[in-house]
Structure 1
Amino acid sequence: MSNVQKRPNGSWRARYRDADGRDHARHFPRKIDAQRWLDEVTASIVTGRYVDPSKARTTLEEFYDDWSQRQLWATGTHVAMRRALTSCTFSDRPLASLRRSHVEAWVKSMVQAGLAPSTIRTRVMNVRAMLRAAVRDRALAEDPAEGVPLPRLRRREHAMTIPAPETVWRVVDGAPEWFRLYVALCAFAGLRVGETSGVQLGDVDFLRRQLHVQRQIQRDETGAVQATPPKHGSERTVSLPDELVEMIAWHVEHVGVRGSEQWLFMAKTGEPPLQDAVGNRWRRLLDELALERFRLHDLRHFYASGLIAAGCDVVTVQRALGHAKASTTLNTYSHLWPSAEDKTRAAAAGMMRESRGLPADRTAESG
């Protein structure tokens, strides 16, 4: 419902009622201007680009504070979204004033600050989730981040660090007693750092040689330590080698467990260790051993690469790592699986050896 009416003072009042039944009006000195504004509003409604004037005046931060309370997010997602918003240079601007140039300037500032391309991409995607939500809520006409160039990511096979087996064992062997099992669980069970911090004695089935991964340790939005389900619903049961089971038993006997929950690992604060503290201890350990630095998370890649090298299929690796989808496993580790060329070459080599009367697994002799 809309109309244009002349007022007693000679101005023209354009009025319309939105889908929620609220009246909106503006006054113009000329009737043609009032009608033009009303036509523009009508066109935006028809094309789906209508923006509620009252919502358009809110800032991105104000919109996020209201929108985030309705989202079914895990604690880690809340923390990541808030971190992205805090780093955003236009979070205090009204939504109606946001332009592509604001996003471009923010991306450039993160590049100049030396942030990793993957970090920049994650933060931009999180802020874009807020912007797209604002579009759906008719608080923003379009996503100003659409099409903004982001730093290029390195190819996974070049960006991924997989330590050598001898390096991994040197770190395990050189770690302090309490930390030795922590490193081993990352390297030989493929646990994430938060998952390792969350292991309790009751999670270990010594008879079946299994570890039930059912929680992770992280900070909540207030900074408090919190135990939550693993990310993306990746609760799982990991099959353990005998040597790792023996390490767990040794740890329980000589290092002990803590608290009524029987945590395998405990920080000086009396709580399970957080990622920052574990990361600091990990880096000190590498320095003490005079090893080139790599991430503790790279031990998870070491575990995955070992499974693949042993001939495990995609689904087996997916389940062991706790990926929600097999596509995630393939996207991350596809370069580690033998290619069609590798299989063809191996098959042809086997046929050649067989035709020469050699064992199929014997290395071909030169000459």
Structure 2
Amino acid sequence: MTVHDLWKDLSKSEIAQRRQAGRDRWQRRWREGTGRAAQQRKQSYKEHQKAQAYLDDANHMQNPRAQRIRRESITVGTLLDRHLAAKADRAPKTVEADHHHAAGVRRQFGDRHASTIDTTEIEVWSQRGDIARSSRKKQLEIFRASIKRGIRDKLIDHDPTEGIVVPLGHKELPHWSSAELMAVIEAAANEREKALLAVLGLMGVRAGEARSLLVGDYSDGRLSVTTSGVDSDTTKTRAGRRTLPVPGFVVPLLERQVGDRPKSEWLFPSPRLAGQAIGKGYVSDTVTRAVARANKNREDPIERINVHGLRHTFAAMALSEAGADLLSVSRAMGHARPSITLDRYGHLAPAGLAPLMDKIDQLAVVQS
């Protein structure tokens, strides 16, 4: 049995035309019987069919040569397609992001046989300067995940992405100290804005999540975050759907906000448009107004940060002031993976083993 790439010597434009037309690319040729007189047969496949065809041949025939041909013919595009298909049940925004980052890999390596790509080639590609580091990191991650799936499924033999890292570098995200945050909250123009700032800064809730909260989402000192924004029925990731214990300072603010209103009403209703939640502009204006009021009698004015900076403030306070662990902060913020929290805020966590050993010592003293 032999396998042939019918597009092997074509130009990129010709390949694009054939792909758009849905033409077959791979042709398998074999003889029925032995000897030159045996009848030769041919069968062609589109890209998404060929991997399974090779797999069936190798499994049924137990033919090392068939296995070698199958491995040498798998393209990066096929590996990406298989990985994306296996992850298609994730949150819509996550799936959309996966396809976006996969497209960056596909542009460079999509038509290449995976067995022909070496580590240095991928490393050079991952260090290019035409896009942001975070995007290059995401592209490398989905490339690596596709490769590892191919290895697990025995479609390819090795991982050429192993050992390659795209360093993000440390960029300090604007945030306030706990004292500055409390000064801004206390200076809020009214009870609604004070409760809103407290939910954003003291609980790490995203602005879109806060805008979509209903009265019924607050109950017995706990706040349920179930949607990522007004008019949306899904969170950014599964981890975004979370129930948060409400800090004692925030409880009376929310209870006054809830009052005796029906559970189906918005927790933060628009002051101008009946039956609607506050808009994005209202949240931003709330921060601006509160900072201006807080700075009236301050010798060291508080710097204005954007709305998302309140979420960074929560992370900074939790890690650097409250000494919280990264996993707890990650869950509170609704991050899909603790590694996201580590990448963005790991430098704020207590350094060294001394804080840990101090806590262990406190436990030992109490129990002794």
Smaller-chain TM-score range? 0.5 to 0.7
Give the letter for the 1:79 counterpart.
E
Give the letter for the 2:267 counterpart.
L
Give the corresponding residue for 2:242. 235
2:177 pairs with 1:164: yes
2:233 pairs with 1:217: no
Contact 2:80 2:146 in 1 (8 A): yes
Give the corresponding residue for 1:90. 107
Give the corresponding residue for 1:41. 65
Residue deviations 1:293-346, cap 9 Å, x none?
Answer: 46332122144147725xx78887677556899999889568544855579999
Q: Of residues 43, 51, 57 in structure 1, which corresponds to 2:71? A: 51
Whole-Å Cα distance in 1 between the matches of residues 179 and 187 of structure 2?
A: 12
Contact 2:226 2:235 in 1 (8 A): yes
Q: Give the TM-score, by structure 2 length.
A: 0.57
2:104 pairs with 1:77: no
Give the corresponding residue for 2:117. 99
Q: Residues 235 and 266 of structure 1: is their aligned pair in 2 closer, same or farther, counting only changes over 3 Å?
A: same
Q: Residues 159 and 287 of structure 1: is their aligned pair in 2 closer, same or farther, counting only changes over 3 Å?
A: same
User: Deviation at 1:124?
Assistant: 1.9
Residue deviations 1:142-177, cap 9 Å, x none?
Answer: 4333333423533xxx74655223432454456676
Contact 1:192 1:300 in 2 (8 A): no
Residue deviations 1:94-137, cap 9 Å, x none?
Answer: 2416624653454233x443x2x455323421332123223434
Contact 2:200 2:311 in 1 (8 A): yes
Give the letter for the 1:7 counterpart.
R
Q: Of residues 214, 235, 257 in structure 2, which corresponds to 1:200? A: 214
For the residue of structure 1 that corresponds to 2:267, the secondary structure is: coil
Q: Of residues 36, 54, 62 in structure 2, which corresponds to 1:7? A: 36
For the residue of structure 2 that corresponds to 1:236, the secondary structure is: strand
Whole-Å Cα distance in 1 between the matches of residues 135 and 210 of structure 2?
A: 23
Q: Residues 292 and 317 of structure 1: is their aligned pair in 2 closer, same or farther, counting only changes over 3 Å?
A: closer
Which has the higher mean CA deviation after the structures are superposed, 71-80 or 335-344? 335-344
Give the letter for the 1:99 counterpart.
I
Whole-Å Cα distance in 2 between the matches of residues 252 and 319 of structure 1?
A: 25
Contact 2:215 2:263 in 1 (8 A): no
Give the letter for the 1:239 counterpart.
V
2:315 pairs with 1:291: no
Whole-Å Cα distance in 1 between the matches of residues 83 and 276 of structure 2?
A: 32
Question: RMSD in angstroms over aligned alpha carbons?
Answer: 5.4
Give the corresponding residue for 1:144. 160
User: Deviation at 1:202?
Assistant: 0.8
Give the corresponding residue for 1:108. 127
Which has the higher mean CA deviation after the structures are superposed, 172-181 or 279-288? 279-288
Whole-Å Cα distance in 2 between the matches of residues 39 and 70 of structure 1?
A: 28
Give the letter for the 1:164 counterpart.
S
Give the letter for the 1:130 counterpart.
S
Q: Residues 105 and 130 of structure 1: is their aligned pair in 2 closer, same or farther, counting only changes over 3 Å?
A: same
How many equivalent pairs are there? Answer: 299
Contact 1:314 1:326 in 2 (8 A): yes
For the residue of structure 1 that corresponds to 2:107, the secondary structure is: coil
Percent of aligned pairs with the same amino acid: 17
For the residue of structure 2 that corresponds to 1:199, the secondary structure is: coil
Residue deviations 1:205-245, cap 9 Å, x none?
Answer: 2xx4x1232413169xxxx8332486437623313324x23
Give the corresponding residue for 1:189. 203
1:320-335 to structure 2, matched below 5 A, reads none
Contact 1:199 1:263 in 2 (8 A): yes
Q: Residues 325 and 102 of structure 1: is their aligned pair in 2 closer, same or farther, counting only changes over 3 Å?
A: closer
Contact 1:162 1:299 in 2 (8 A): yes
For the residue of structure 1 that corresponds to 2:265, the secondary structure is: coil
Give the letter for the 2:253 counterpart.
M
Contact 1:237 1:320 in 2 (8 A): yes
Q: Give the TM-score, by structure 1 length.
A: 0.57
Query: Structure 1 stretches of 5 or more lacking a match?
Result: 25-37, 347-367
Whole-Å Cα distance in 1 between the matches of residues 222 and 59 of structure 2?
A: 61
Contact 1:214 1:236 in 2 (8 A): yes
For the residue of structure 2 that corresponds to 1:88, the secondary structure is: helix
Give the letter for the 2:142 counterpart.
N
Give the corresponding residue for 1:354. none
Query: Structure 2 stretches of 5 or more lacking a match?
Result: 2-29, 43-52, 293-301, 360-368
